[in-house]
Structure 1
């Protein structure tokens, strides 16, 4: 018997449903397989973070300089006008009531300022450019004197900040002013030229600066011991030379002249302040210049008829002087006051200015003011020593200010110099040679502050990496 028509339709309907269910099941299985394949591919590729998706190491690696270093603006090429004098960092408390470190208030322009005020600097977010630091393709070897140098050489010693005020002055009045040099074993008497940064006005008069936190004054007798110890010249371009006003500066110049101690970086007028001192040694003519980029007030700058300092906030006059002096001397040395106090890493402002000195004709650049040692940079076959630290100074609460060194250069008539560091402790009023262990630690520290550009051997000799 045949099924009824209604039964046939019902059977067909069930059969169609089964076919649709089977089709959906296959679709679902296919989708699951596709999703599984996609997930497998995704996780096999490390979630989209494969090495190919990451920036190259060279682009993601941080600068070799400490990221915590306060950074200053790079000065524009030195022929551009620079900024107004800036204030130094406020010092931390010291162990004695007499300041060891200087902090000056924000500079205040004066009607007596020699130059027209320049616009203030923009905030600095730049670091030193260490890619060009070696100057490898642009100059001679900086690992030492060339083997074929031949002929005579000269030995030059450079030491850091020297004061005869406060606790140092009190100590030396009791111990005698020769006390400051008693541990040096006469090292300044056997070289050809020794230069220090005299950071104390030498006067029995003067009027202390009213707008400074720390004001120094030293006794004239201190200069007799300074000369007797073998110091041949002093730099006066710094932020303390006018602590006792213009009269204090004039007294200082007079006391130095009376004792036959040449000075650079300051004078009765701008011409004298920017004038080089010349020294003839072993048939080699050495020119010495001093400049500062740290002064409390813009009216400390020397003018046409005004006593003051050789400032390099605008470096044009300094660069012009260096270029002219290079025509008269075999070796040109620039001593410069710059940087920030207690900051061990040199900044881009120092670097740009230091390089501009060498570009203008300097053979050796010796820096100071930070009261701590900073790194050394080889540039176009020349050396830039960014900070020599303290030398004859008070003791602050910052241990890094207790470390110093004598920077010794041996130079040929062609202006090529080797550089050697002699580590010292900067004790109260007296530098003392370090023991071997501490000395090696100090040399390692200076090497580490030099952005991987130099190597310092156990005997203190500095050489350029790759030389």
Structure 2
């Protein structure tokens, strides 16, 4: 029987940056009057662009997430029905590949105790597929280095031990197939942290995308062939916090201003990678974007336009991560191919992220996708034949005196009679708000 849980933090509000008294006072005042109920225009999401107002807004919405879309983003609500995804009439299928996708994989103190428990109830969604993908966001270091970097747990540094890395990246000996390593925490432990992480990924046979090791790889896609389907992965992150790469190491990450408050989204780096994937004869292109505004349940209008632009350039499946909350999955009919439905997951949320207990932070998304390669009118094509968002959440429990974490499918805990714990009820409301008709399919 589960033991009584210890007191756990609800959100980062008043948890990080205990020295930031003015920010805390201002955010607390804003919360009292419900100051922001829609996205703040001109807000920064890149830490390098943060000012005082951005800090206050960040802490405010970490406690009270933004549940309304921008006015210019409302049209997205009409494209959330996954029933539109199907193979074109006359398509002759030759082979298929299944994919399981998760969001951010982030360390939590003591997470190593949950090895082979963490993914036990969602293994069918991730590890029983031909390809499994997630965003890996906690570089690896020796225990003493990680402990020093994390300090008292109130640091924004994301790093972990080898044992925690193992918990995050595998289940019963089955590893993720592909992990994105281009994100704003890639260099939290300088280049050494990235290199240690890349060596472990290589040893475990995990393909990592977004962090080239040499100059020649920069701006190129990463290619993986599974069951006869050649898949190109392209990746970029919106920023790398305040870290400055030395000039001779700037090739080590695919980074572009995707969400700057000063300039329009820069898409050239992504388009270079797309062009490279096409040149290498890829059947299908997956885009991994670390971007977006944290704790906002809908993408900004600029993101929607950018997503459509890179899809029209050649991306077929776009996987977004960073906001720590879920955002809609869009089923977008492409102009470049009227028979193609591209799938755009704006934010899959954080699969793991500390021990926070607020419903908006516990909830995340997984995505099941099936690709089909074949011919249509005598020409080769690879389409998405099915795509289903799967809402999941982190369940914390005590067992044998240990605090454990397990990812649960939300549908397994939702009662048709409406009798469910308040946290499950709230997560169910958020899932319906964000996913629309696709939630129940």
2:439 and 2:60 map into 1 onto residues whose CA distance is 36
Within the alignment, does 1:326 sit opposite 2:326 as a pair? no
Contact 1:269 1:304 in 2 (8 A): no
Q: How does 1:7-406 map to 2 (within 5 A)?
A: 68-71=37-40, 86-87=49-50, 92=59, 127-128=72-73, 130=75, 142-149=84-91, 150-164=93-107, 168-172=108-112, 175-204=113-142, 205=145, 208=149, 213-225=155-167, 226-227=169-170, 228-269=173-214, 271-272=216-217, 274-297=219-242, 299=244, 305-306=249-250, 308-313=252-257, 314-327=266-279, 328-379=281-332, 380=334, 381-396=341-356, 398-406=358-366
Aligned in 2, Cα 1:410/1:326: closer, same or farther, shift over 3 Å? same
Q: TM-score with structure 2 length normalisation?
A: 0.68
CA deviation after TM superposition for structure 1 residue 134, in Å: 5.2
Contact 2:98 2:369 in 1 (8 A): yes
Aligned in 2, Cα 1:435/1:128: closer, same or farther, shift over 3 Å? closer
Contact 1:285 1:329 in 2 (8 A): yes
2:393 and 2:85 map into 1 onto residues whose CA distance is 26
The Cα offsets for residues 117-141 of structure 1, whole Å up to 9 and x where unpaired, read as: xxxxxxxx873272797599xxxx9
Give 3-state SS (helix, strand or coil) of 1:317's partner.
helix
Aligned in 2, Cα 1:326/1:89: closer, same or farther, shift over 3 Å? farther
Give 3-state SS (helix, strand or coil) of 2:102's partner.
strand
Give 3-state SS (helix, strand or coil) of 2:244's partner.
helix
The Cα offsets for residues 326-376 of structure 1, whole Å up to 9 and x where unpaired, read as: 342111001111111111111112212211210210001011111111112
Contact 2:394 2:406 in 1 (8 A): yes
Aligned in 2, Cα 1:84/1:177: closer, same or farther, shift over 3 Å? closer
Contact 2:235 2:254 in 1 (8 A): yes
Give 3-state SS (helix, strand or coil) of 1:299's partner.
coil
Aligned in 2, Cα 1:72/1:271: closer, same or farther, shift over 3 Å? farther
Contact 1:407 1:422 in 2 (8 A): yes
Aligned in 2, Cα 1:213/1:131: closer, same or farther, shift over 3 Å? closer
Q: Indicate the structure (1 or 2) with the bigger Cα radius of gyration.
A: 1
Give 3-state SS (helix, strand or coil) of 1:251's partner.
helix
Contact 1:274 1:290 in 2 (8 A): no
Aligned in 2, Cα 1:151/1:135: closer, same or farther, shift over 3 Å? same
Q: How many residues align?
A: 345
The Cα offsets for residues 38-88 of structure 1, whole Å up to 9 and x where unpaired, read as: xxxxxxxxxxxxxxxxxxxxxxxxxxxxx93315569xxxxxxxx995447
2:407 and 2:413 map into 1 onto residues whose CA distance is 17
Give 1:43's aligned residue: none
The Cα offsets for residues 307-335 of structure 1, whole Å up to 9 and x where unpaired, read as: 64211213212212112213421110011
More strand by share: 2
Q: Which runs of no fewer than 5 residues in structure 2 stay unpaired?
A: 1-35, 64-69, 258-265, 335-340, 374-380, 397-404, 417-424
1:196 and 1:256 map into 2 onto residues whose CA distance is 13
Q: TM-score with structure 1 length normalisation?
A: 0.64
2:191 and 2:198 map into 1 onto residues whose CA distance is 11
Give 3-state SS (helix, strand or coil) of 1:319's partner.
helix
